[in-house]
Structure 1
Amino acid sequence: MLDDTDRRLLRQLLAEPSLGTSDLAERAGLTTATCWRRLEKLQAAGVITARQAVIDWRALGYAVEVSLRFTLDKTEPRAFDEFLEAARQVPEVIGIETFLGRVDVRLNVIARDMAQYQEIYRRRILTLPHIADIEALMLIATIKDSAGLPL
């Protein structure tokens, strides 16, 4: 599906997503027109889905990040849908993932400090529907956080 030119273009895009088409073309060794056509092709194929800003929550004063793993009470047929709908409404939830296995859902929650986290946990997390079990993992350090692929 991807040729060497596409891979080279994607490597440059991953390295610096904010580049304009002409700068990206120059770095990838392409003409601007060719670069634009390739980007359009990759977007149409669903390879490139968006260009987005990555925000460092810690720089904005959020010092606490907790990964909460939930097992849901699956005796209710709509447990997943109702839980996910309610979790989307919690502003401090920055990530929601579902799994197959012992853990059903993981929420990533941020807070400015432990006092705020405790308030969020008590008032917003524990009130989510259909919780059978919760496990909390507090983030200590991020060793690798890369959206890059081995292209």
Structure 2
Amino acid sequence: MLDDTDRRILRQYQAAPDLPGADLADRAGVTPSTLARRLGLMREAGVLRGTRGVIHWPALGYEVEVSLRVTLDKTAPRAFDDFIAAAREVPEVIEIQTFLGSIDVRLAVIARDLGHYQTVYRSRLLTLPHIADIEALMHVALVKSDETVPL
């Protein structure tokens, strides 16, 4: 379990993950060696899974984002596995989530514009296996996107 020092380190790391180690250690109130050791232990324990770059899709020309809520034909024995394997092959699908309930899968899809989305939708998404129903939700605005955990 995390102690107060670990939580303090994680709070600072979440706030400024790109800070040099010495600066991060200073903000967390620990020595650089303590910071390195504690971060290493948290990586080994699976608390920290990695460091990643966050891409702002519109800056790369992807102006449209759509959430697709998909219900699968669950009479097919491998419906989930087949669908997910095929959806992973669509480059415009940036996220796949599975659910319990009336919706089985949610896909986050990006496209350059509505014409590009229509092409992707008709040629790649509607051809995914075992779809019983699909609903598209067009993103209008991102109101909150925060991956920090209250520590």
Which TM-score bucket, shorter chain as reference? over 0.9
Structure 2 equivalent of residue 135 of structure 1: 135
Structure 2 equivalent of residue 147 of structure 1: 147
Give 1:47 deviation, angstroms. 0.4
Give 1:4 deviation, angstroms. 1.2
The superposition leaves residues 82-128 of structure 1 with CA deviations (integer Å, 9 ceiling, x where unpaired) of 00000000000000000000000000000010000000000000000
How far apart, CA to CA, are the structure 1 residues paired with 2:85 and 2:139?
A: 25
How many percent identity over aligned positions?
Answer: 64
Indicate whether 1:81 and 2:77 are aligned: no
How far apart, CA to CA, are the structure 1 residues paired with 2:92 and 2:134?
A: 17
Give 1:3 deviation, angstroms. 1.2
Give 1:20 deviation, angstroms. 2.6
Provide structure 1 residue ranges, at least 5 long, that are not aligned to the other structure.
Answer: none
Structure 1 equivalent of residue 5 of structure 2: 5
How far apart, CA to CA, are the structure 2 residues paired with 1:100 and 1:148?
A: 25
Provide structure 2 residue ranges, at least 5 long, that are not aligned to the other structure.
Answer: none
Indicate whether 1:52 and 2:55 are aligned: no
How far apart, CA to CA, are the structure 1 residues paired with 2:50 and 2:35?
A: 16
Structure 2 equivalent of residue 117 of structure 1: 117
Give 1:61 deviation, angstroms. 1.1
Structure 2 equivalent of residue 31 of structure 1: 31
How far apart, CA to CA, are the structure 1 residues paired with 2:55 and 2:42?
A: 25
Structure 2 equivalent of residue 95 of structure 1: 95
Structure 2 equivalent of residue 105 of structure 1: 105
Q: Which runs of 4+ in 1 moved over 4 A?
A: none
Figure out how many residues of one structure are paired with residues of the other and give that number.
Answer: 151
How far apart, CA to CA, are the structure 1 residues paired with 2:116 and 2:123?
A: 11
Q: Secondary structure at the match of 1:94?
A: strand
Q: Which amino acid aligns with 1:13?
A: Y
Structure 1 equivalent of residue 21 of structure 2: 21
Q: Which amino acid aligns with 1:78?
A: R
Q: CA RMSD in A?
A: 0.7
The TM-score, its normalising length taken from structure 1, stands at 0.98
